[in-house]
Chains A and B, each alone.
Chain A
Amino acid sequence: MTTFREYLERKSSGALEAEAIELSLPEAARPFQGERAGFATRIVACGIDVAIAAIVALGVWVCIFLVKVILSPGTEVTMPSFAWAIIVSYGFTWMYWTMAWATTGRTIGDWMMGLRIVDIHGNPLSWPLSALRSVFCVGFPFGLIWVLFSPSNRSLQDTVLRTSAIYDWAVEIAAVRLPAPDSRQGAPSPGSP
């Protein structure tokens, strides 16, 4: 058991922040946080996002079907063509990735696989850059294969737009530690809902 005196000594030596982070991250994941992610992780995240987009498109398609059935009972329901569904799915995926990367830097797939998209300075992407990268990803998804061969784990889109997908596991409970008394009147803690 750590005594309170030992705790204060660790705090004054600055070792406490790292320990707090360590408390929130699995030990095996600590060494590679911040590195550019590899192909497998990114393809899984991308697959999750595509699956979500497909589910959403399917949902929209089902909703349209139900609305038509309800509004025109007894008549034959004409559904949109498959091409239309694909276009809608692409559009939805582009919009979804643009919003996600420009705001949190993560899509749902990225969040689940512990990824975050950053620009050349390590900041979240701007809206235009995010939209451009989203167009690239939706229009040429095979650019992701370049991650395998890139010396810095960059996809083709990343190489062109100078962005990076890094391992950055979401830390949801880091804010369990209370802020210092003089900073308690500031903004609510990021970990709070």
Chain B
Amino acid sequence: MQYGRVSAQGPGPTDVIFALRVPPAPQGVLGWVGMGARAMVGAGVAVAEGVVSAVSRVVAPPTGALLDATVPVVSDAVVRRLDLRAIVTRALDEMDLTAVVVDRVDLPAVINSALDEIDLTALVVQRVDLGTIVGAALDELDLTEIVMIRTDLKAIVTRALDELDLTEIVLTRADLKAIITRALDELDLTDIVLDRVDLARVVDGALDELDLTQLVIDRVDIDAIVNHVDMVTVVDKVPVVDIANYVIEEIDLPRIIRTSTGGVAADAMDTARLQAHQVDKVSERIVDRIIFRKKRNLDAPGEPQSLVALAEEEAPPQ
């Protein structure tokens, strides 16, 4: 309770003592509404007491003791007879409580004070059925859509990946064997690899990394493989004649034969032929100069045997 005194000039008792019930700090809109109602009631009481005081002054100069004895009784009687609900309802109808509160109340201070006093977390945990609320919210919301639209997933994932050691997490927390086994059971790895993997690049990369020659030398029993090879088939596929001709050409067998069989006589004959040819040319030039001929037509029909002999040899038999 809070008590007050109103002093007045004049004979007789001049002081009116009133008592106000100080309500606890309002909580929420309903709290403020209750406080307003209580203020209205207090105001009614004060008015009643004022009326009593005035009557007392007019009728008889009551004493303070008399007032102390009668005022509460009268107040209670007045209060009992007042339709407080109607009064409050009418007051609420006529007042814009929100405007009053906004104008008259230091809301930040009130809220801060209230929050200082209250453990909101505990209050929510104790009083709110979080499961129901969250369930209802989840039923109403499309969380996936919200996350997709409102969240910078890339940044979140990037930051998460920066801060997490995924390898360590997977190694410590995941049953890798079970995961892999189940994945392998459900997947057709062959199809996946054929569809999604650039096998050429993979193989190229692998071959770049590996020293296949050394690998074969180290790991393959070449002798065993050769022992299983049908050499006759291999030789049948080898171009033996080409190889023989290649060897003949490489060792210059014709020159060897010519040198070994012809010897000095063949060289002398070649020299004699060449010198005779040179004499032919000289004599032709001399005669042509004398008779003012520019050029002779020396092309003869057919092909010389020295140039076609080989072609005739290699022609298939008729």
Q: Are A190 and B309 in contact (CB under 8 A)?
A: yes
Q: Are A176 and B304 in contact (CB under 8 A)?
A: no
Q: Which chain A positions have C-beta within 8 A of B301?
A: 118, 120-122, 164
Q: Which chain A positions have C-beta within 8 A of B310?
A: 17, 20-21, 171, 174-175, 177
Q: Which chain A positions have C-beta within 8 A of B293?
A: 151
Q: Which chain A positions have C-beta within 8 A of B255?
A: 23
Interface residues on A, range: 35 or more
Q: Which chain B positions have C-beta within 8 A of A28?
A: 274
How many residues does chain B have at the interface if contact means C-beta atoms less than 8 Å apart?
Answer: 53
B290 CB to nearest chain A CB (Å): 9
A32-B258 CB under 8 A given contacts A21-B306, A171-B306, A182-B316:
no
A180 to B242, CA, bound (A): 8
A176 to B254, CA, bound (A): 6
A21 to B244, CA, bound (A): 17
Q: Is the interface of B mostly helix, strand, loop or mixed?
A: helix
A183-B317 CB under 8 A given contacts A35-B300, A177-B248:
yes
Q: Which chain B positions have C-beta within 8 A of A148?
A: 283-284, 287
* A141 contacts partner chain B, Cβ-Cβ < 8 Å: no
Q: Are B273 and A23 in contact (CB under 8 A)?
A: no
Q: Are A190 and B313 in contact (CB under 8 A)?
A: yes
* A113 contacts partner chain B, Cβ-Cβ < 8 Å: yes
13 CB contacts below 8 A, A to B, read A21-B309, A28-B274, A112-B273, A113-B276, A120-B301, A152-B296, A152-B298, A153-B298, A170-B305, A173-B254, A173-B257, A181-B240, A186-B317
- What is the interface of chain B, defined by CB distance below 8 A to chain A? 239-246, 248-250, 252-255, 257-258, 269-270, 272-274, 276-277, 279-281, 283-284, 287, 291, 293, 296-307, 309-317
